[in-house]
Amino acid sequence: MSRVLNCIVANVVISVWDWLNKQNVVISVWDWLGKQNVVIMGRKTWFSIPERNRPLKNRINIVLSRELKKPPAGAHHLASDFRSALCLLDTAEMAERADQVWVIGGSSLYKEMMESQGTRRLFVTRILQQFKSDTFLPEINQDQYRLLPEFPGVPQDLQEEAGLQYRFEVYESIDQ
Ligand SMILES: NC(=O)c1ccc[n+]([C@@H]2O[C@H](COP(=O)([O-])OP(=O)(O)OC[C@H]3O[C@@H](n4cnc5c(N)ncnc54)[C@H](OP(=O)(O)O)[C@@H]3O)[C@@H](O)[C@H]2O)c1
């Protein structure tokens, strides 16, 4: 089944949990008519979420690993590659249950998602400050993605919290 793929990222590693909480503005945790959003993440992102907050609640949590043989405790599904993770969503049961699909990191998974086929949207929190980081979002190719002037539910104005200024940006893939 062809689905819109969404990715969500901030240009700073706060802790992934704080970051996910801040971005709940766009990543709905609602259980809408029995449907749930799907979050797909790499093994390190999964383990960077505090244990008490795993799995991310009211969402179907899929963890990617080439090494693990079974889903880490609390995760709903394990997949050995991105394609297999998406194939999990094609079963009749998942087609019924799964709503939006969100790729939530890390780097290699963002890259794979950004270079995959079909409609993709990138929800980026652009914090207006430089931080020392060791994990990065691949560059957004302006030939492949365009910055949307607005997106329903996403504030356009400058945000400020705890002395940090940031903006939400939504990019959409350009049909090639
Ligand atoms: N600021 C943000 O928006 C944001 C978002 C997400 C994460 N983060 C942070 O980024 C860090 C983790 O990111 P990361 O890039 O280092 O690691 P990651 O992608 O979360 O995890 C890497 C691991 O995931 C598995 N994996 C990734 N892609 C795969 C694929 N296509 N197929 C199969 N397995 C795959 C592999 O696990 P195995 O080694 O088990 O095979 C790989 O070693 C954490 O500190 C997290 O908090 C920040």
Range scoring the smallest mean pLDDT among 17-26, 92-101, 160-169: 17-26
Give yes or no for residue 156 having a pLDDT over 60: yes
Give yes or no for residue 126 having a pLDDT over 90: no
pLDDT, one tens digit per residue, over 42-82 is 999 999 999 999 999 889 999 999 999 999 999 999 999 99
Instruction: For a ligand 1 pocket test, name from 27, 43, 81 the mutation site with the most ligand atoms within 8 angstroms of its C-beta.
Output: 43
For the Cβ of 94 lying below 6 angstroms from any atom of ligand 1, the answer is no
User: What percentage of residues in the chain have a pLDDT greater than 70?
Assistant: 85
pLDDT, one tens digit per residue, over 98-110 is 988 999 999 999 9
Please state the pTM of the whole predicted model: 0.90
- Give the distance (Å) from ligand 1 centre to CA of residue 10: 14
Per-domain boundaries in the chain: 9-173
For the Cβ of 65 lying below 6 angstroms from any atom of ligand 1, the answer is yes
9-173: what fold?
Answer: Dihydrofolate Reductase, subunit A (3.40.430)
For the Cβ of 48 lying below 6 angstroms from any atom of ligand 1, the answer is yes
Give yes or no for residue 34 having a pLDDT over 50: yes
- Give the distance (Å) from ligand 1 centre to CA of residue 114: 15
For the Cβ of 66 lying below 6 angstroms from any atom of ligand 1, the answer is yes
Give yes or no for residue 13 having a pLDDT over 60: no
Top pLDDT among 58 and 144 is at 144
Q: What is the arithmetic mean of pLDDT over 150-161?
A: 87
Tell me the pairing of strands 59-64 and 77-79: parallel
Give yes or no for residue 20 having a pLDDT over 70: no
Q: What is the pLDDT of residue 62?
A: 97
The DSSP string of the chain is: ----EEEEEESS-S-HHHHHHHGGGTS----BTTBEEEEEEEHHHHHHS-GGG-SPTTEEEEEE-SS-SSPPTT-SEEESSHHHHHHHTTSHHHHHHEEEEEE---HHHHHHHHTSSS-EEEEEEEESS----S--PPP--TTTEEE-S--TT---SPEEETTEEEEEEEEEEPP-
For the Cβ of 82 lying below 6 angstroms from any atom of ligand 1, the answer is yes
For the Cβ of 113 lying below 6 angstroms from any atom of ligand 1, the answer is no
